[in-house]
Structure 1
Amino acid sequence: MSSSHLYNCKNIEKFLIIGLGNPGCLYKKTRHNLGFMILDQISKKYFFSFSKKKFGFIYKFIYNGKLLFFLKPTTYMNNSGISVKYWMIKEKILLKNILVISDDIYLNFGSFRLRKKGGSGGHNGLKNIEKEIGTSHYTRLRFGIKKNHFYKKVDSYVLGNWKKEEMNYLFSRLDIGIEIIFSFIINGLQKTMNMFNRYT
């Protein structure tokens, strides 16, 4: 992290990293809060705390000469786009520098997929973001939560808590997610996709 005077530099490149989830202790350990969990891991690694602001918990800092905004929307999953749109406009962040982190019921547990655009795949958070910002052309990092024994209704599964036996593997994979996020910021989308998508 660099000194805070860079916050006032008009030419500094800005990034908005959004982790999707639902606020409150009731949802903290649910599969649907995967985006929140990754941002919480980043906050532990870099020793910062989120502040409650309009439509979200947010933290900003300088990394490698870039101004990063980490956002956990408080609008609840189905209205995530309200928070994303507000902070994009407020901080004048370019669409190409937006990264949305979400769970994905159709990817195997622990796998990641980084994409520069795409459909919502039935994910209500992604669906609302597309509605609010008017495009599906934004980068998203999806984390697989599908298990072989998955048989429940989607809502009850994604809003269910992680099992104890899943937790150790889960956190080891979150560290890879953090690598992907910072590679996107430093190396760009295409290079990061080439580096990680084939192995994760």
Structure 2
Amino acid sequence: MKLIVGLGNPGRKYEQTRHNVGFMAVAKFAALIHADPSKIRFEGEWAEGTSNGEKMAILCPHTYMNASGKSVRKAVDFFKLVPEDIIVICDDLNLPTGRIRLRPSGSSGGQKGLADIVRHLGTESFPRLRIGIDRPPQGWEVVDYVLGKFSKSEQETIEAATTRAAYAAIEWTSVGITSTMTKFNADPESSR
């Protein structure tokens, strides 16, 4: 079984905000694999499906971004998953809007949801897929920026990026992180 985790904040107030690109990408992943309707489990939104003959579990923690690890840990413990079978999809301030980057492991890079997952799992050795949201404009507070909605000019870019991230997660489930990184870490314009 593979676990695909999308990070974000629950509730209508946070829908379509920069911090919720993980939720957006995971929703597309669920649609692509025709996952069962979601239900509440492990303090999050949970769905299951199959891709490439393997069982997939999809989790969007409802513990709010900064406490995401609590939800992830419950699912990992219940299914006795190893870190290599988990991929976390989240936003990244250090990537240009719309760029995606996969890594097999590493630090949280300041992303508080990732940091909490690292703390709860006791390891940085799990794949992560970051979706760029860029740095806040001059004079903006980071919290206001990440909890803000995308501008009209950014929406098309983010739609494409979250779709690309969903396909990258599917690729990861079948060929692993190295091949997926090679294919999806390139600039999306260069891989068409």
Name the count of aligned residue pairs.
Answer: 187
- 2:131–2:161 Cα contact (<8 Å) kept: no
Give the structure-1-normalised TM-score. 0.88
In structure 2, the residue matched to 1:73 is 61
1:58 matches 2:49: no
Deviations 1:107-147 (A, max 9, x none): 00000110011111111101101110001111100000005
Deviations 1:22-43 (A, max 9, x none): 1000111210001001112233
1:38 matches 2:25: yes
Q: Residue type matched to 2:43 in 1? A: F
3-state secondary structure, aligned to 1:52: strand
| Superposed counterparts of 1:87-126, under 5 Å | 87-126=75-114
3-state secondary structure, aligned to 2:22: helix
RMSD over equivalenced CA pairs, Å: 1.6
In structure 1, the residue matched to 2:132 is 144
| Superposed counterparts of 1:3-14, under 5 Å | 14=1
Give the structure-2-normalised TM-score. 0.91
| Partner of residue 86 from structure 1, selected from 70, 74, 95 | 74
Deviations 1:46-70 (A, max 9, x none): 4543111231101011222211000
3-state secondary structure, aligned to 1:43: helix
Distance 1:192 1:20 in 2: 20
In structure 2, the residue matched to 1:154 is 142
Distance 2:132 2:154 in 1: 13
What's the CA shift for 1:106? Answer: 0.7
| Partner of residue 163 from structure 1, selected from 151, 154, 162 | 151
3-state secondary structure, aligned to 1:183: helix
* Greater displacement, 65-74 / 34-43: 34-43
| Partner of residue 186 from structure 1, selected from 174, 181, 188 | 174
3-state secondary structure, aligned to 2:106: coil
* Larger Cα-atom Rg: 1
Judged with a 3 Å threshold, the aligned counterparts in structure 2 of structure 1 residues 126 and 88 are, in CA distance, closer, same or farther, namely same
Consecutive unaligned residues in structure 1, runs of 5 or more: 1-13
Q: Residue type matched to 1:23 in 2? A: P
Q: Residue type matched to 2:87 in 1? A: L
In structure 2, the residue matched to 1:7 is none
Which runs of structure 1 show a deviation greater than 6 angstroms over 4 or more consecutive aligned residues?
A: none
